[in-house]
Each structure stands twice: as structure tokens, then as C-alpha cells.
């Protein structure tokens, strides 16, 4: 079955440190890939997207992600986190159906001062 | 750019009551979605619509109805609210096959 896995429910990082949030999917083809962020009591905002081409995609606020097809992964990275990055991050993947996204369960990012 | 508006922002209902949530988008997107998000959880798809007057069930459609009478609007009805039900309902829209854009959500509380 097609699925998206975010193995870390919570990640704690010190302010200024680097960050990686993991996302793996189960699908034999080449999917469309997305990362969204949800700040407290808000809707989801698109951080970045991958459709084709350069496997490293840049997003807003210094975030980037790398599509590694051989590993079925699309991990999110940031070189130096800020306290305002505290939020829940969702990975989503479009596979066979062009209409639906398969969602990961989310990773809550906590920034330590 | 565009925007997705959801009304109401907060919805409080009684057990057994029929409740309607509304969503409007001005992106001119073809496809619209309704998701439910329980506290601290991920998103579950309730209904989606790929064009005006089209409705497709998601994994969580039982207990809900939807209506897409115009391209720009998509309504969701909770057919019989369940006591102690608390969730956020998120509306989204997209050009078919591309990224989804979300509204701010409607918070439902059932007393």
C-alpha cells in the first residue's frame, strides 16, 4: 500500500543548530513531493515542492529538501533554526492519483533557547 | 495570489445537530478538499471535488455530506454531530495534480 512515513513525532533542536526532518514514502514511481508547515492554531502553509529536475529544492525561510529516489526519501533540512520555526511539519506525496495527497503523520519541531 | 476563506471560524453545536461549514477560494482552482484534523494528529480526507457539482468520498466520509454548487465554493455538512467531538476542519484547493493551498480552518466543538 502507498504510504508516507515521518518516523519522528517530535524533534528538539537548539536555536542556531541545523535540522533534518525525515520523510520516506512507499511508491514505485516518481511522485510529486511536498513539505507543509502548520503553526499553532493555523492552517497549513506550503514550504516547498518537488515535481521534477534538480533533486534539491529550495523553499521559504531557508528550508530545503532533497529527493533521493533510490532511498524513497524527501528529507527537510535547515542550516540554522530560529525559535520561530517551532511548528508541526507535514510531508505529503502525490502518487497514482493526481487528486489526492498521501500525508505523513507530522513532526513537531521544538526549538530550545 | 489568492486566498481561501472558511466560515465560521468557531462552531459550537449540540449532539445530533446538523452543522454546515463553508469554504470559498479565489484561486480559480478546479479541485477542492475537506480534511479533518484531530488535536495533535495528521490530516484525514473527508471529501474532495474535482469540478463544480462533482463529489468524491475520502476515507472519512461517513457522517458527512458535501456540496460543490460553484467552482469557488465547497460546503461540508456534519449530518449528526457527536457529543465530545472536537476537531479542526481544513479546506484546501489546488490545480489538479499540484500543490494544495489551505484555509485557516473551522474549529468544531460539540456539547
pLDDT in tens, B42-82: 899 999 999 999 999 999 999 999 999 999 999 999 999 99
Which CATH architecture is the domain B4-110 placed in?
Sandwich (2.60)
Q: Which pLDDT does position A14 carry in this prediction?
A: 97
- Over 80: is that where the pLDDT of B84 sits? no
Residue numbers in chain A where pLDDT is lower than 50: none
Question: H or E segment at A57?
Answer: strand A56-58
Task: Kindly list the domain boundaries of chain B, sorted by start residue.
Answer: 4-110
Q: Which pLDDT does position A97 carry in this prediction?
A: 62
Nearest CA in chain B to A108: B40
Residue A43 to residue B45, Cβ atoms within 8 A:
no
First CA to last CA across chain A, in angstroms?
Answer: 41
Task: Kindly list the domain boundaries of chain A, sorted by start residue.
Answer: 3-112
User: What number is the average pLDDT over the span B27-36?
Assistant: 96
Q: Which of B98, B107, B108 to mutate to test the interface with A (most CBs of A within 10 A)?
A: B98
Instruction: Give strand ranges (E) for B1-111.
Output: 4-7, 10-13, 19-25, 31-37, 43-49, 56-57, 64-70, 73-78, 86-94, 101-102, 106-110
pLDDT in tens, B7-16: 999 999 999 9
Q: Which pLDDT does position B8 carry in this prediction?
A: 97
Sign, CA torsion A96/A56/B35/B97: negative
Question: Residues A90, A104: contact at Cβ < 8 Å?
Answer: yes
* Superfamily name and number for A3-112: Immunoglobulins (2.60.40.10)
Amino acid at each position: 500500500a502507498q504510504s508516507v512515513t515521518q518516523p519522528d513525532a517530535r524533534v528538539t533542536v537548539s536555536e542556531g543548530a541545523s535540522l533534518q526532518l525525515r520523510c520516506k514514502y512507499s511508491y514505485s514511481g516518481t511522485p510529486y513531493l511536498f513539505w507543509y508547515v502548520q503553526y499553532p492554531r493555523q492552517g497549513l502553509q506550503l514550504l516547498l515542492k518537488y515535481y521534477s529536475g534538480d533533486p534539491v529544492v529550495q523553499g521559504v525561510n531557508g528550508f530545503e529538501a532533497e529527493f533521493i529516489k533510490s532511498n524513497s526519501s524527501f528529507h527537510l533540512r535547515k542550516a540554522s533554526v530560529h525559535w520561530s520555526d517551532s511548528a508541526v511539519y507535514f510531508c505529503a506525496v502525490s502518487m497514482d492519483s493526481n487528486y489526492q495527497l498521501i500525508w505523513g503523520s507530522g513532526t513537531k519541531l521544538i526549538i530550545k533557547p | 495570489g489568492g486566498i481561501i476563506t472558511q466560515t465560521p471560524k468557531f462552531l459550537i453545536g449540540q449532539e445530533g445537530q446538523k452543522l454546515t461549514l463553508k469554504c470559498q477560494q479565489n484561486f480559480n482552482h478546479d479541485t477542492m478538499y475537506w480534511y479533518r484534523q484531530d488535536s495533535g494528529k495528521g490530516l484525514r480526507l473527508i471529501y474532495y471535488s474535482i469540478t463544480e457539482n462533482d463529489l468524491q468520498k475520502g476515507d472519512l466520509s461517513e457522517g458527512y455530506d458535501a456540496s460543490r454548487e460553484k467552482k469557488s465554493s465547497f460546503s461540508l455538512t456534519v449530518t449528526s454531530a457527536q457529543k465530545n467531538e472536537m476537531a479542526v476542519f481544513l479546506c484546501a484547493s489546488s490545480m489538479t495534480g499540484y500543490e494544495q493551498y489551505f484555509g485557516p480552518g473551522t474549529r468544531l466543538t460539540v456539547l
